[in-house]
């Protein structure tokens, strides 16, 4: 019998990419929900859904992702990034449905000089990062859990840095972008594909659902300035990108200066190949 996968936050970047790939994944039934169909802060609503359907795996793509707003709207960020994950973990335990949950590089302080490993000390600097770290702790209480920390997510769906750069590239002759924050962009399509790979492996043999925390982004490293320059180049936009320091571009939340994630564990455990960030970008830009 086909296994049923619940996807929460299905209208977001990651959820939409999973939906796209679900059309080529006939081995599963999917239940796609976003806040209008299933508000994950509402435990009764989750219980009702589970009482009506046999759900074999949960993939939580829902989150409060507005990093700057989370500094002042902390209550809502906590509700969605912590309390709602607690709800999913408790239903996961009750129905023995493993949970795949997504977290962030913002759980780190960004002071490292080498890519962060899953075992490195966390030290979130923002309200968003703090809520996501506490959300990880809730996810760990599931029947079985996999937590994937990712960074700099973009997609042809939703709003993100790539789309903002394309808009600015069309409107302006010159823009300034910070060059002292280093990371690796992640095409949400590639993360969606990894999640589906894990589900397929686990469908074959549940022992393949190897619990724990994993890091995933595309390969390579760049600054936001280099990322923006590559977007302009690949899109043939005639807009000069000027490097500036983070001090010259103050935001309500301090971003990590360094957020490269070491992907060795996820690659080895699930036998995954990861594309370079500029190759993945090219793929995405065909759709924007
Ligand atoms: N975006 C990044 O750069 C980034 C970086 C690192 C990690 N991550 C993590 O990656 C995951 C996926 O991010 P994403 O960029 O795909 O997020 P996204 O595009 O913001 O999508 C999140 C979705 O969850 C929905 N949602 C919010 N509250 C909900 C609730 N109570 N119940 C059900 N759905 C709810 C949102 O609806 P509304 O839009 O109506 O609120 C939205 O459709 C998240 O866990 C995020 O923390 C993201």
* Cα gap 37→35, rounded to integer Å: 6
Nearest residue (by CA) to ligand 1, atom 8, is 104
Give the angle subtended at the CA of 205 by the CAs of 201 and 211, to the nearest 5°.
70
Determine the residue of 15, 39, 65 to mutate for testing ligand 1's pocket, defined as the one with the most ligand atoms within 8 A of the Cβ atom: 65
184-199: buried (b, 16+ CB within 10 Å) or exposed (e) per residue? bbbbbbbbbbbbbebb
Q: Is the sign of the CA dihedral 271, 28, 188, 286 positive or negative?
A: positive
Which residue is listed with tokens 């509402």? 42
Q: pTM higher than 0.85, yes or no?
A: yes
Architecture of domain 3-160+185-219+259-275: 3-Layer(aba) Sandwich (3.40)
Helices 188-204 & 13-22, crossing angle to 10 degrees? 50
Cβ pair 194, 272 in contact under 8 A:
yes
Give the distance (Å) from ligand 1 centre to CA of residue 85: 13
List average pLDDT for each run of 10 residues in the chain, which is 288 residues long. 97 98 97 98 98 98 98 98 99 98 98 98 98 98 98 98 98 98 98 98 98 98 98 98 95 93 98 98 98
pLDDT of residue 240: 98
The SS3 assignment for 217 reads: coil
Q: Is the sign of the CA dihedral 136, 224, 288, 173 positive or negative?
A: positive
Q: Which residues contact ligand 1 via a Cβ below 6 A?
A: 8-9, 11-14, 34-35, 39-41, 61-63, 65, 80, 84, 102, 104, 132, 150-153, 158, 188
The SS3 assignment for 30 reads: strand
Written as one string, the DSSP assignment of 236-247 is: T---EEEEE-GG
pLDDT of residue 147: 99
């Amino acid at each position: 019998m086909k296994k049923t996968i619940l996807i929460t936050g299905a209208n977001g970047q990651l959820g939409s990419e999973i939906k796209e790939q679900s059309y080529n994944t006939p081995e599963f039934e999917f239940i796609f929900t976003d806040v209008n169909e299933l508000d994950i802060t509402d435990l009764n609503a989750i219980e009702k859904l589970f009482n009506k359907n046999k759900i074999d795996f949960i993939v939580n793509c829902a989150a409060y992702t507005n990093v700057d707003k989370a500094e002042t709207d902390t209550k809502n960020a906590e509700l969605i990034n912590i309390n709602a994950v607690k709800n999913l973990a408790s239903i996961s335990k009750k129905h023995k449905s493993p949970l795949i949950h997504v977290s962030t590089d913002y759980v780190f302080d960004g002071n490292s000089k080498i890519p962060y490993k899953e075992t490195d000390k966390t030290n979130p600097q923002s309200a968003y990062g703090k809520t996501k770290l506490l959300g990880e702790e809730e996810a760990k209480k599931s029947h079985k859990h996999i937590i994937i920390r990712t960074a700099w997510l973009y997609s042809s769906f939703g709003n993100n840095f790539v789309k903002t750069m394309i808009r600015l590239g069309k409107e302006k002759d010159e823009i300034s972008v910070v060059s002292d924050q280093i990371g690796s962009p992640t095409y949400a399509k590639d993360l969606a594909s990894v999640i589906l790979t894990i589900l397929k492996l686990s469908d074959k043999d549940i022992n393949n659902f190897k619990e724990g925390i994993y890091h995933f982004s595309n390969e390579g490293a760049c600054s936001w300035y280099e990322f923006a320059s590559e977007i302009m180049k690949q899109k043939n936009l005639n807009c000069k990108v000027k490097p500036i320091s983070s001090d010259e571009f103050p935001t309500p939340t301090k971003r990590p200066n360094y957020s490269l994630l070491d992907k060795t564990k996820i690659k080895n455990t699930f036998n995954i190949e990861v594309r370079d960030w500029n190759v993945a970008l090219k793929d995405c830009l065909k759709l924007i």
